[in-house]
Structure 1
Amino acid sequence: MLIEPGKLLAEINSPADLKKLSPEQLVTLSTELRDFIIDNVSVYGGHFGASLGVVELTVALHYVFNTPYDQLVWDVGHQAYGHKILTGRRDVFHTNRLYNGISGFPKRKESEYDTFGVGHSSTSISAALGMAEASHFLGMDDKQHIAVIGDGAMTGGLAFEAMNHAGVSNTNLLIILNDNCMSIDPNVGALKDYLTDITTSHTYNKVRDEIWNVLGKFSKFGPNPREIVGKIENSIKSLLLSQSNLFESLNLRYFGPVDGHDVSHMVHVLKDLKDIKGPKILHIVTTKGKGYAPAENGDKTTWHAPGKFDKVTGEIHKKVHETPQPPKYQDVFGHTIVELAEKNDKIMGITPAMPSGSSMNIMMNAMPERAFDVGIAEQHAVTFSAGLATQGLIPFCNIYSTFMQRSYDQVIHDVCIQDLPVNFCLDRAGFAGADGPTHHGAYDIAYMRCIPNMIVSSPMNEEELRNLMFTAQLPREGGAFTIRYPRGQGVMSDWRKPMQAIEIGTGRTVREGSEVAILTIGHIGNYVVEACEYLQEDGLDPAHYDMRFVKPLDEALLHKVFKKFRKIVTVEDGCIMGGFGSAVAEFMVDHGYQARIERLGIPDRIVEHGEQRELHAECNFDPEGIANAVRKLAESNVTV
């Protein structure tokens, strides 16, 4: 069903329409926009709390600034639903995150208002600063550049690197720090809003600049009066606005904090800031989930992306199953690391701001002194883990596959060159689903297997994940150990099996067969089990080997396969280029074998969002796609 927008929102097809409203109407529009987001997400699912928290900011930004000429950059993108609705995508918003629908994140190909594609955090300031410098170079100094970044994203090192650069630039850059803390003291907030009114007003800045110019003329007569007055100004700000110290030390003029839910005041502040030249930061305070009581007052993690829910009661819809269901791989990790840590006091857990998403929160609750959430700082997470390893501890560094890409230098330089035994558990390997290409874990096999002193493995089921984790915490001569596993459920409802060591670099035979051999790595091997059932009906009898390790490969098993088969299919839920199939082909060439190899996996293109099974089918490695590849190969004449 399509959600009907409110009366004002129904007339907004672009920011140009928004600008036709009176300032008094913006309050009503904000309410309608918030209700439209609530209604849509409750029915269709998606991210929730973050976008509700910036409704008034979104309205004010598009009301004050001349977007898309003025460049608006959203960090992460969870908070950009209102932005999408106000920029021409209201009537297709119900397709958000669905296969062939609009993206859940800003995307340059989708709209001219989406100035920069996002999905990973802490990128907005760097991108907006690059745009600002480009505008200056091109003589477009009237152009404004706004980066909206959440307080969580400010923990990312990239944000600090960008602010350090911005402070020495002379660009029209406005950084908006969206501080969505739980509450704000009304007295302190009122005082700081008052101070913000003063510091952003035209009168204040006109007088300040005039005084500054006059003081400069007297510097030749003695002590520099600008320096004296500057020290006084900074001392007052340091006393009353302790938050300004960090930003102003980076030469960013600091304003705030202001109430991010007062749309009229936000419009007033933004209009004043437009006329203040140079890099500056506006600190706004918002409430995540604002305007929907269960999200506003409940667990923020749950309401970040709750899925479908009952708008009236706030009850989140969950699937009811009559029989026990397999657990999520992340939960198997979370419970297993606690089991291992109870017996091995050297095990430590590390995650960069994803304790719930990775289920590291299970260890954090059970052993808070041995589990660390280091914030959105993947590079730090890896090098911190390396530091633990130098002291004889056993770090399990759990990072989503897509986020591990951000710490690749640290994996090489700080872990593998030093041959340190750090264990990397890469959650969300393969297609991540509705989050789309910024979150797909497509490349980890390729980028990990090319590094010396690195073991790369992937379990086909929950029992194998537990065994790999057990193996990884045993003493070894050195080397990092990567275990990759997908988002979502496994295949075993009875998964708490006793753990046992796996010999590193060994695979296993799942199914003996003839004519065609199917080699798989990881959970995707379960599709082959299903495909083989189809193929048996066709009179085909393929063999199936679960390799378990991409590096080192089970060479004994591969020798056996290549001596018996001339037709081989490899299947992986990672990129084909440089991945598992490539490793098998390299083995064939290196050892002088000849065979026809059909490689299935993620093709060399950007795959958009959708349910995992939909994307597997699109890329032809769902069960039917695998079966078709085997049929085609079986029918071919191979003369090698």
Structure 2
Amino acid sequence: MPTPLLDRVRVPADLRNFSAEQLRQLADELRLETVDAVSTTGGHLGASLGVVELTVALHAIFDTPSDRLIWDVGHQAYPHKILTGRRDRIRTLRQGGGLSGFTRRAESEYDPFGAAHSSTSISAGLGMAVARDLLAAQGGGAGGGAGGGAGAVASLPAARVADRSSQAVIAVIGDGAMSAGMAYEAMNNAGAAKSRLIVVLNDNDMSIARPVGAMSAYLSRLISSRPFLSIREVMARLARRFPRPIAEAARRADEYARGMLTGGTLFEEMGFYYVGPVDGHDLDHLLPVLRNLRDAEESGPILLHVVTQKGKGYQPAEAAADKYHGVVKFNVVTGEQAKAPPGPPSYTKVFANALIAEAEADPRIVAVTAAMPGGTGLDAFEKRFPRRSFDVGIAEQHAVTFAAGMACEGLRPFVAIYSTFLQRAYDQVVHDVALQNLPVRFAMDRAGLVGADGATHAGAYDVAYLGCIPNMTLMAASDEVELTHMVATAAAHDSGPIALRYPRGEGTGLEIPARGTVLPIGKGRVLRQGTTIALLSYGTRLAEALRAADELAAQGLSCTVADARFAKPLDTELLERLARTHAVLLTVEEGSVGGFGSLVAHHLAHAGLLDGGLRFRPLTLPDAYIDHDTPRKQYDLAGLNSPQIVQAARDALQHNTTAQPVRA
């Protein structure tokens, strides 16, 4: 489909010569381009479609990249990428070597802050605003040039172009992200700091307030206008001449009068000047309000409340916002998403089914997630046990301590959170759970590398950050049957916190029992017995370890393959036997340096088993971030597929050609 106006846009400055009518046409073309691009790559569609007009308006009004535009999470930034010089690469989204599915500083100067986890934008924006103010006070300015030209609908005032201390900082945050405490911590600080910051609240579920048509738009333009702000400042100065009680009464009267008309009293109480709600799809409303906010001379933070619709402008996404939040490749005409060929159930589904089976037998089992019921499989649990399922929103810290409170009273809570998101609740895991030895069960989905979501979502660190905590028990499933057993083991474990990890993607195709069997804590298993090389796997690299053993056997090298099952407590009897009876011992894990291999090395060193001829090699994820690609390619790069395991074993053996197994 032709996109004549979009074809003229290389950078956002090109928008600033367009009329309002042209910007509306540009938004239509941008929406079509976004749909077409995501249909070929997959990705986050609904959120991006919902901010098309807002993206156009922000780049038309503000002097990006000199003005800092920060997208919270960044999964809604596909239209932003198209307008900021990346259109020629937009069909490489989430592909190996292509554009990230989120904002990324290294990718473009138009991405001033990288993101993929939620609720960071206001904190980062406030930091940038304070830095701007400090540098301006010290005589340094924020760099960057102005865009636009004569006759542009959103041309920049000449005085503002010359004075870079007037640089704007804009944080765009969705209402889902506003459920996280960090957003309110940032707003509380911003209200006290009084630096000039614009927060755009993208309310795409109408969960805070609805726009009320022309009157709402008129009021928003009025209260954001320079005359209104000037009158307000004059009245504030007059009020300061009266006794304090009268002045305070006048201030509150102003706040509540506007609050009654427009909403936003909460934000006003936190020190923000509230404007809205505004229809986020109507450029006739957005453009004048944003221009007023850009040119406002008063200091202090401002919150602009815009109401948008996820999936706007693409009927299949409008009709099923949940199904089109994140999509695989799809047919643009029908909206039908490509179906994966039939295969084994995903680990996420296996976990959900196993938890439901345990909950059927034990009414004390409850489930907690942080805004990811679908991603963690707990949507199925909620359908079966609606009163025993709790989605606390994007609030991982609260989720963990909430579960700790339930554990105090005898319930058996499972906290299902992606490994990468549990990082956000580390203090709560330590202080509120482990220190009190409470039996909270942590189910960590997306352990290891995660393909197209890249480094920000990789579950690389949980073994390292949990392994150092006293009272913690750690398990990793090597296949879907083991995952079922580990859910049963966690359910039965009442002597302290316990965590199990499992990856994204499908299982191996094994027959899954209706209900798991409780495993003995701290005991591994040997799957293949050999004499020369021992491969001790923790997690789903076990299949690659078995393939490596086959390859080594074909080369005349006898291998033992064992599944550790537990990183803490270790199966020290198995570990010492492997160390004493083999020339080479490799640990294999889909986690970072400092994890399972480090715990093994610690025990071997204290047992004196590293002092002889044993060649010990821990194979972990590298001490580097691995970009988005297919999981297979990511694990090749990490050195954790069977060919790399074979090479590591041979290298270790060649460095020890005269060594004999250490005997007791």
TM-score, normalized by the shorter chain, greater than 0.5: yes
Number of residue pairs matched by the alignment: 627
Q: 1:412 aligns with which of 420, 423, 430?
A: 430
Q: 1:525 corresponds to which letter in structure 2?
A: L
Is 1:593 aligned with 2:609? yes
Give the Cα separation in 1 of the matches to 2:251 and 2:91. 53
Q: 2:325 aligns with which of 301, 304, 307?
A: 304
Q: 2:399 aligns with which of 381, 391, 416?
A: 381
User: Which residue number corresponds to residue 68 of structure 1?
Assistant: 65
Q: Does the 8 Å contact 1:183/1:287 carry over to 2? A: no
User: Which residue number corresponds to residue 528 of structure 2?
Assistant: 511
Give the Cα separation in 2 of the matches to 1:50 and 1:423. 32
Q: Which piece of structure 1 moves more, 208-217 or 517-526? A: 208-217
Q: Does the 8 Å contact 2:544/2:641 carry over to 1? A: yes
Give the Cα separation in 2 of the matches to 1:235 and 1:47. 38
Q: Does the 8 Å contact 2:210/2:307 carry over to 1? A: no
Give the Cα separation in 1 of the matches to 2:123 and 2:557. 55
Give the Cα separation in 1 of the matches to 2:220 and 2:521. 61
Q: Does the 8 Å contact 2:481/2:512 carry over to 1? A: yes
Q: 2:170 aligns with which of 137, 140, 146?
A: 146
Deviations 1:287-315 (A, max 9, x none): 000110000112x2210111111110111
Percent identity among equivalent residues?
Answer: 46
Q: Does the 8 Å contact 1:463/1:497 carry over to 2? A: no
Q: Does the 8 Å contact 1:596/1:638 carry over to 2? A: no
Q: Does the 8 Å contact 1:184/1:285 carry over to 2? A: no
Is 1:429 aligned with 2:481? no
**1:68: Cα distance to partner?**
1.1
SS of corresponding position for 2:55: helix
TM alignment of 1:549-588, pairs within 5 A: 549-575=566-592, 577-588=593-604
Q: Does the 8 Å contact 1:108/1:117 carry over to 2? A: yes
User: Which residue number corresponds to residue 624 of structure 2?
Assistant: 605
Give the Cα separation in 2 of the matches to 1:187 and 1:281. 15
Is 1:349 aligned with 2:367? yes
Q: 1:116 corresponds to which letter in structure 2?
A: F
Q: Does the 8 Å contact 2:84/2:110 carry over to 1? A: yes
**1:459: Cα distance to partner?**
0.9
Q: Which piece of structure 1 moves more, 286-295 or 269-278? A: 269-278
User: Which residue number corresponds to residue 151 of structure 2?
Assistant: none
User: Which residue number corresponds to residue 179 of structure 1?
Assistant: 203
Give the Cα separation in 1 of the matches to 2:237 and 2:70. 34
Give the Cα separation in 1 of the matches to 2:427 and 2:560. 39
User: Which residue number corresponds to residue 258 of structure 2?
Assistant: 237
Q: 1:212 aligns with which of 212, 236, 241?
A: 236
Give the Cα separation in 1 of the matches to 2:209 and 2:180. 27
**1:265: Cα distance to partner?**
2.1
User: Which residue number corresponds to residue 150 of structure 2?
Assistant: none
User: Which residue number corresponds to residue 168 of structure 1?
Assistant: 192
Give the Cα separation in 1 of the matches to 2:634 and 2:580. 34
Deviations 1:167-217 (A, max 9, x none): 012212000000002699988243322211210122222222233334434
User: Which residue number corresponds to residue 158 of structure 2?
Assistant: none
Give the Cα separation in 1 of the matches to 2:590 and 2:210. 52
Deviations 1:362-397 (A, max 9, x none): 111111110100000000000001000000110000
Give the Cα separation in 1 of the matches to 2:467 and 2:455. 22
User: Which residue number corresponds to residue 156 of structure 2?
Assistant: none
Is 1:283 aligned with 2:305? yes
**1:497: Cα distance to partner?**
4.7
**1:320: Cα distance to partner?**
2.8
SS of corresponding position for 1:130: helix
Give the Cα separation in 1 of the matches to 2:340 and 2:363. 38
Q: TM-score, normalising length from structure 2?
A: 0.92
SS of corresponding position for 1:72: strand
User: Which residue number corresponds to residue 536 of structure 1?
Assistant: 553
**1:516: Cα distance to partner?**
0.5
Q: Does the 8 Å contact 1:326/1:494 carry over to 2? A: no
**1:560: Cα distance to partner?**
1.0
TM alignment of 1:74-473, pairs within 5 A: 74-139=71-136, 140=141, 141-181=165-205, 188-217=212-241, 219=242, 225-241=246-262, 243-276=263-296, 277=298, 278-298=300-320, 300-321=321-342, 325-473=343-491
**1:605: Cα distance to partner?**
1.1
Gaps spanning 5+ residues in structure 1: where?
A: none
Q: 1:380 corresponds to which letter in structure 2?
A: H
Q: 1:586 corresponds to which letter in structure 2?
A: H
User: Which residue number corresponds to residue 6 of structure 1?
Assistant: 3
Deviations 1:586-635 (A, max 9, x none): 12111011321122121111111111111000111112211222233344
**1:232: Cα distance to partner?**
2.6
Is 1:43 aligned with 2:62? no
Q: Does the 8 Å contact 2:256/2:265 carry over to 1? A: no
Q: 4+ residue stretches of structure 1 with deviation over 4 A?
A: 182-187, 222-225
Give the Cα separation in 1 of the matches to 2:210 and 2:372. 32
The structure-2 alpha-carbon separation of the partners of 1:156 and 1:183, relative to structure 1 and needing over 3 Å to count, comes to closer
Deviations 1:238-283 (A, max 9, x none): 4333x31110010101000000001232111100011233201000
Give the Cα separation in 1 of the matches to 2:55 and 2:64. 12
User: What is the root-mean-square deviation in Å for CA atoms of aligned residues?
Assistant: 1.7
SS of corresponding position for 2:276: strand
Deviations 1:525-556 (A, max 9, x none): 11112222333332332110100000000011
Q: 2:579 corresponds to which letter in structure 1?
A: F
Give the Cα separation in 1 of the matches to 2:267 and 2:422. 29
Deviations 1:410-457 (A, max 9, x none): 000000000101100000010121111111110011111100000011
**1:226: Cα distance to partner?**
3.4
User: Which residue number corresponds to residue 30 of structure 2?
Assistant: 33
**1:8: Cα distance to partner?**
1.3
Q: Which piece of structure 1 moves more, 60-69 or 174-183? A: 174-183
Q: Does the 8 Å contact 2:328/2:338 carry over to 1? A: yes
Give the Cα separation in 1 of the matches to 2:260 and 2:213. 15
Q: 1:548 aligns with which of 565, 586, 597?
A: 565
Q: Does the 8 Å contact 1:327/1:493 carry over to 2? A: no
Give the Cα separation in 2 of the matches to 1:442 and 1:463. 23
SS of corresponding position for 1:441: coil
Give the Cα separation in 2 of the matches to 1:223 and 1:384. 42
Q: 1:592 corresponds to which letter in structure 2?
A: G
Q: Does the 8 Å contact 1:24/1:264 carry over to 2? A: no
SS of corresponding position for 2:516: coil
**1:326: Cα distance to partner?**
1.4
Give the Cα separation in 1 of the matches to 2:429 and 2:645. 34
The structure-2 alpha-carbon separation of the partners of 1:158 and 1:406, relative to structure 1 and needing over 3 Å to count, comes to same
Q: TM-score, normalising length from structure 1?
A: 0.95
Q: Does the 8 Å contact 2:354/2:515 carry over to 1? A: no
**1:495: Cα distance to partner?**
1.5
**1:464: Cα distance to partner?**
0.8
Give the Cα separation in 2 of the matches to 1:565 and 1:40. 53
Give the Cα separation in 2 of the matches to 1:72 and 1:464. 46
Q: Does the 8 Å contact 1:471/1:501 carry over to 2? A: yes
